[in-house]
């Protein structure tokens, strides 16, 4: 992915999560305010009922007898004498009825001493704590009591625990997102560093390798080498191994280029039967014991890059030959249905353990077997195949045969 696109995705994701978090905080604050209003309404209703019962239903007020002095402090005018025990009974009854389940403390005004008489701290969950709470006097009132809710904020927060848990979860998601983005950026830097290293390494290898190839080709033309069979064998080994090493280096360069920007494809129509038959014949010339059967309809054709499609066929057939402990036998066939064409490569090799099949297309991955130790390679062949298949928008799958070997299937949608 290009760094510009990655930055856009990161920015959009970050802005989206921050926006959701801000919205959640605003919703939580709004929910707290609504819960606060609901609490005040319930307290006012309960205290009005208490006034009604204490006055025996005969009280008449020009304005509401319940005044909310501050967030957790209420003053209630009675206009009649009342007993503290009766007041506490009515408070408990009404608060229980309206489900006001938080601690409160009340005090009564004594007109004879002109002082507030401390009542009682009523706790729903614990013994009454021993702490003094201030209750100021109020002018123009004779028979009244005051009530405070010291744990009102805690009570409201506990009633909104779901909102706070959701906000906390969003914060955790934001932190995970930031950490994931940091990890992605670090991995991208590592990938770029690895690709640069591979490019530099392979380019450095190609210079001395070209010199070896030129020298070995020059040697093979010398009369002394032509006349000496042993020297001719040695120089041919040098040439063959140099070409093999050169092919490996080219493959690594192609992989690095594909990781960076994708390989350039030149699609064209290919008739499958003669195309694959020609590749099969060229491979059979190099392997006398190899048997390749091609069962493809002569009318089957596809749109593909000729060079890279050739490499796909070569890589698949080369693996079937290398990972076979008997005489290699390969069958190439095609099947068509309404969705597309299936090109199958069935061999009689050693097969692949089921647990390893999901990883065989990974870069540098090689199945750990005795045969793998004997076969030279970097684990890039099938990785390259998978990349080319993806760029063509095809699909590739591998499965073990019931008898022996594996079947690789290329699916080419119409």
What would the pLDDT profile of 3-12 be if each residue is shown by its tens digit? 667 777 777 8
pLDDT at 20: 80
CB distance 213 to 239 below 8 Å: yes
Q: How many CB atoms lie within 10 A of CB 386?
A: 18
Tokens representing 131 are 């702490």
pLDDT at 258: 59
pLDDT at 376: 61
pLDDT at 51: 83
Tokens representing 97 are 């009825």
pTM for the model stands at 0.47
* Angstrom distance (rounded) from CA 24 to CA 31: 10
* Angstrom distance (rounded) from CA 210 to CA 161: 72
* Angstrom distance (rounded) from CA 122 to CA 106: 8
Contact partners, residue 186, CB within 8 Å, separation at least 6:
none
Q: What is the side-by-side strand order in the sheet with 73-77? A: 66-70, 73-77, 144-148, 104-110, 115-122
Strands 291-295 and 329-336: parallel
Phi, psi (rounded to 5 degrees) for 69: -75, -45
pLDDT at 251: 67
pLDDT at 344: 93
pLDDT at 408: 92
Half-sphere exposure (CA, 13 Å, Cβ side) for 25?
6
Half-sphere exposure (CA, 13 Å, Cβ side) for 138?
19
pLDDT at 346: 92
pLDDT at 345: 93
Residues of the chain with pLDDT under 70: 1-4, 56-62, 110-119, 124-134, 137, 140, 142, 194, 198-199, 201-203, 248, 251-263, 369-379
């Amino acid at each position: 992915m290009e760094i510009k696109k990655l930055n856009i995705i990161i920015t959009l994701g970050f802005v989206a999560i921050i926006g959701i978090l801000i919205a959640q905080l605003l919703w939580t604050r709004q929910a707290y305010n609504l819960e606060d209003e609901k609490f005040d309404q319930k307290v006012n209703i309960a205290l009005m009922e208490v006034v009604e019962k204490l006055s025996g239903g005969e009280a008449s007020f020009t304005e509401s007898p319940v005044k909310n002095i501050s967030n957790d402090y209420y003053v209630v005018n009675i206009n009649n004498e009342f007993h503290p025990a009766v007041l506490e009974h009515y408070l408990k009854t009404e608060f229980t009825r309206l489900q006001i389940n938080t601690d409160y403390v009340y005090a009564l005004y004594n007109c004879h001493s002109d002082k507030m008489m401390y009542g009682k701290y009523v706790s729903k969950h614990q013994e009454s704590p021993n702490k003094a709470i201030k209750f100021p006097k109020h002018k123009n009132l004779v028979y009244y009591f005051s009530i405070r809710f010291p744990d009102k904020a805690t009570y409201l927060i506990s009633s909104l625990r779901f909102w706070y848990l959701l906000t906390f979860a969003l914060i955790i998601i934001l932190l995970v997102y930031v950490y994931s983005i940091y990890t992605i950026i670090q991995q991208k830097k590592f990938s770029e560093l690895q690709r640069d290293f591979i490019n530099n390494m392979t380019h450095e290898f190609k210079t001395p390798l070209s010199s070896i190839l030129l020298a070995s080709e020059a040697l093979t033309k010398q009369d002394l080498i032509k006349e000496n069979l042993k020297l001719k064998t040695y120089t041919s080994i040098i040439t063959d191994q140099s070409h093999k090493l050169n092919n490996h280096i080219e493959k690594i360069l192609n992989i690095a280029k594909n990781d960076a920007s994708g390989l350039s494809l030149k699609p064209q129509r290919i008739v499958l039967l003669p195309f694959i038959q020609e590749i099969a014949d060229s491979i059979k010339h190099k392997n006398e014991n190899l048997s390749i059967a091609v069962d493809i309809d002569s009318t089957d054709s596809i749109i593909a890059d000729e060079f890279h499609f050739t490499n796909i066929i070569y890589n698949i057939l080369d693996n079937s030959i290398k990972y076979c402990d008997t005489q290699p036998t390969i069958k190439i066939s095609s099947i068509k249905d309404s969705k597309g064409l299936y090109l199958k490569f069935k061999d009689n090799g050693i097969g692949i353990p089921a647990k390893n099949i999901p990883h065989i297309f990974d870069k540098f991955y090689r199945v750990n077997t005795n045969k793998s130790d004997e076969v030279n390679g970097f684990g890039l062949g099938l990785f390259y195949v998978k990349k080319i298949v993806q760029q063509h928008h095809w699909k590739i799958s591998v499965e073990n045969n019931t008898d022996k070997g594996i079947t690789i299937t290329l699916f080419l949608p119409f």
